[in-house]
Amino acid sequence: MVNRLEICKGIRSTIWINAVFYRVDAFLNTLYDLIVVLIGVTLFLSKMHIIYVSFEQLLAYFLLIPLLMHFLYAIVYGVNDYMDYEKVIHYSPENFAYYIYRPIIFSNKSLIILIGLNSLYIFFAFSLIGFLKLPVVIYAPLVPFFAITSLLRSKCTDVALKYTSFLLLRLTKYSYATATLELLLLQSFYSYPFFIMSLAFLVPYTIYRTVEYMVLSKDLLFNDVKALKGKIKGIVLLIIVMILSSFAFSYYHEHNFNTIEGIFLIYAVCSIPAAGLYFLLSPLIIKKLSRSSSSDGYRTLLFKRLMDALLTFLFALLIIYILTIV
């Protein structure tokens, strides 16, 4: 059991902040992650002359869409912490220090806290949906889907199924972020560009992020370097096949290279924040964060996530500005 009386006021204040966003570190990571996706979507739609970029409009959407998706996705974080509580409390003090900041862990797996916080996030999410005048019926199925999938994932003992469900959750989040941007910019949903972006960009990017998560977790799937290299080669081959398939489909559909040029543009630009900035600023990809002390380690994590989100957002501002003047 977590002895809350021993937690200092500074940690309590962090827990209150984490209760509002359900983990500030996760929100910052979502902000970084979805900005990369939204940059790619904006570039593609602009290249296809489907949208005309407005700086102020896109600036607002690049902040509001990640916020909306984080409130919806917070259900997953809450369920995971609730289901993993018995395992987490037996971690070493250095590892447990990262989890004590999470409201579900701090409250000793309180079901009331879980239900209350999830209800709060659902209220925030659908209030934002109403503010943006988005169709509620499209987003309503996300709540049970996220809850059920995360619950099954937490109970699953098969490692491959765990990672498959992680990929499915992430792909759903990216797809809804893409569809939301289309609905906000175009007041409609266009299936063809969405299909091409999914095949050529969203699914490969989801696979990339899933592999990153698998490497970080250091699970039995990657218990030796040869196994890791073999799986990475297979995944890279799959991504190449998907991209080439999108090329063939788009050329067959349009009989020109406009869509293909748009896909190349996405990868040329998005590789900078998706790989470059993240590799430079987040050593989490190649090794676990140094945990010299509980407070310093968590603050270091927050700082790195903040830098990732901030620099990616500034990069997005540059891209949007360039699109408005060309």
Please write the tens of the pLDDT for every residue from 256-305.
566 777 777 777 787 777 665 555 444 444 444 444 444 456 777 788 88
Question: Residue 82 has what pLDDT?
Answer: 86
- For residue 249, tell me if it sits in a domain: no
- For residue 74, tell me if it sits in a domain: yes
Question: Residue 307 has what pLDDT?
Answer: 82
Residue 2 is inside which H or E element, if any?
Answer: none
- For residue 64, tell me if it sits in a domain: yes
108-118 mean pLDDT: 87
- For residue 87, tell me if it sits in a domain: yes
Other Cβ atoms within 10 Å of 15 Cβ, number: 18
Task: Tell me the residue length of the chain.
Answer: 326
Domain that holds residue 49: 4-192+287-325
The C-alpha R_g of the chain, in whole angstroms, comes to 20
When comparing pLDDT for 205 and 7, which is higher? 205
171-200 mean pLDDT: 86
pLDDT at 34 over 90: yes
- For residue 318, tell me if it sits in a domain: yes
Domain count for the chain: 1
When comparing pLDDT for 81 and 71, which is higher? 71
- For residue 264, tell me if it sits in a domain: no
Other Cβ atoms within 10 Å of 176 Cβ, number: 19
173 confidence band (pLDDT: 50, 70, 90): very high
CA-based nearest residue to 267, from 189, 202, 311? 202
- For residue 272, tell me if it sits in a domain: no
What residue type is assigned to position 126 of the chain? F
When comparing pLDDT for 312 and 9, which is higher? 312
d(CA 70, CA 172): 12
- For residue 186, tell me if it sits in a domain: yes
186-203 mean pLDDT: 81
Question: Residue 176 has what pLDDT?
Answer: 94
Hey, CA dihedral for 258, 260, 263, 264, is it positive or negative? negative
Which ranges of the chain does DSSP label H, i.e. alpha helix?
9-21, 24-47, 55-88, 93-96, 103-106, 111-131, 136-139, 142-155, 159-186, 191-197, 203-217, 225-254, 258-271, 278-281, 294-325
When comparing pLDDT for 216 and 110, which is higher? 110
pLDDT at 67 over 90: yes
